Amino acid sequence: MNAPQPMTLKPQPMLSGTQGAAVNRARWLRNALPAFSLIVLLGTIFIMQPRAMSYMGMNLMLNLAVPIALATIAQMLIITVNDLDLSLGSFISFVACVAATLLNDHPLLGSLALLGCIGVYALLGALIHIRQLPAIVVTLGMSFIWVGGAVLLLPAPGGSAPQWLQALVKIKTPLLPFAVVVCVLLAIAVHLFLMRSTWGVVLRGAGGNPLAIAKAGWSLLRIKVTLYAMAGSFGVLSGLFLVGLTTSADANMALRYTLLSIAGVILGGGEFTGGRVSPIGAVLGALTLVLAGSLLSFIRISPDWQIGAQGAILILVLALRTAVNRLEVRPA
């Protein structure tokens, strides 16, 4: 969507040792910010409501965090190549509807439909790359298609999630609630893939300087298709997890995930352009958003005001981030 800017050849003063250290400190601060916001939020919740600090309490609070975390990872993969997926929420709703109808009644057909969904995502990536279309426009269009498909499958809320899925999401793990375990595993797995592996380097490089990647002989088409297909896969997982928790589906059940996932990526230290993303940050960002909702319930803010208050928390964290970024830019 955004054409990458070529690096400008501005003569810059050489960084002296102290300035280099300042840059490192600012970078460390920025990376620590998502974790810091989450800890502050959790601390506040525990002080307000000590009973939340238990296996049961955490489980209740973080129950819905896993689908949001999965959606955030999906969105982050798209943002890696400077695109944005505005259809993610409707896609997850569609997947939930497929799971509550087709997958339940005809497991084989349902699985094929879900695989087909991933294929559609891969094709979208190819389409966006080959025709050089703005991803926002393509995905906005797709969002209506997904919602339409979901309404066709489930004109009224209903359906039923497969039993195995319901059982899967209710697994009781020792020590830590299942949701926490899944989030930690998710963050570590995606981090290892995207930030530490050689494939991840190429994928992120395509966000930083696509021309350089092409000149080095990598196929941008394959990179985009890979990332979109992976985003589709995480979207499918998110939808399955969600319908497992709610046991029935609704064509509009996950529409707000589109914006939540974008907010999660940004809260987690990611940026819209330049391939600067952080999987661990994205998961932390998703958890922060979920807990912000719980905190507002605990301090008895009426649901009418909750969305606004959630927005205020978002603005607060982003303002902090901007302040940290400024620290980085300012010559020491």
Give the interface with another protein as residue ranges (CB under 8 A). 6-7, 9-15, 20, 23, 27, 196, 198, 201-202, 204-205, 207-209, 211-218, 274-276
Q: How far is the CB of 186 from another protein (least distance, A)?
A: 22
| Residue 2 or 163 having the CB closest to another protein | 2
- What are residue 249's DSSP bridge partners? 158
Q: How far is the CB of 218 from another protein (least distance, A)?
A: 8
Amino acid at 204: R
Nearer to another protein, 159 or 270 (CB): 270
155 DSSP 8-state letter: S
Question: CA–CA separation, 282 vs 60, rounded Å?
Answer: 21
Q: How far is the CB of 196 from another protein (least distance, A)?
A: 7
Q: Which residues pair with 158 in a beta bridge?
A: 249
Token output for 136 = 């926002």
Amino acid code (one letter) for 276: R
Question: Closest approach of Cβ 205 to another protein, in Å?
Answer: 4
Name the minimum Å distance from CB 77 to another protein.
Answer: 15
- Return the CA Rg of the chain: 21
Compute the least distance from the CB of residue 154 to another protein, in Å.
41
Q: Concatenated DSSP letters for 90-111?
A: HHHHHHHHHHHTHHHH-HHHHH
Pick the closer one to another protein by CB: 6 or 155. Answer: 6
Q: Which residues contact 247 (CB under 8 A, 6 or more apart)?
A: 160, 161, 166
Task: Tell me how far apart the alpha carbons of residues 113 and 106 are, in angstroms, rounded to a whole number.
Answer: 11
| E strand residue ranges, the chain | none
Minimum CB–partner distance for residue 9 and another protein (Å): 6
Residue number, 217 or 303, with CB nearest to another protein: 217
Alpha helices in 81-172 (DSSP H): 88-100, 102-105, 107-130, 135-153, 163-169
| 32/123 with CB nearer another protein | 32
- Residue with smaller CB distance to another protein, 103 or 203: 203
CA distance 159 to 155: 10
**Cβ-based nearer residue to another protein, 57 or 208:** 208
- Tell me how far apart the alpha carbons of residues 250 and 158 are, in angstroms, rounded to a whole number: 6
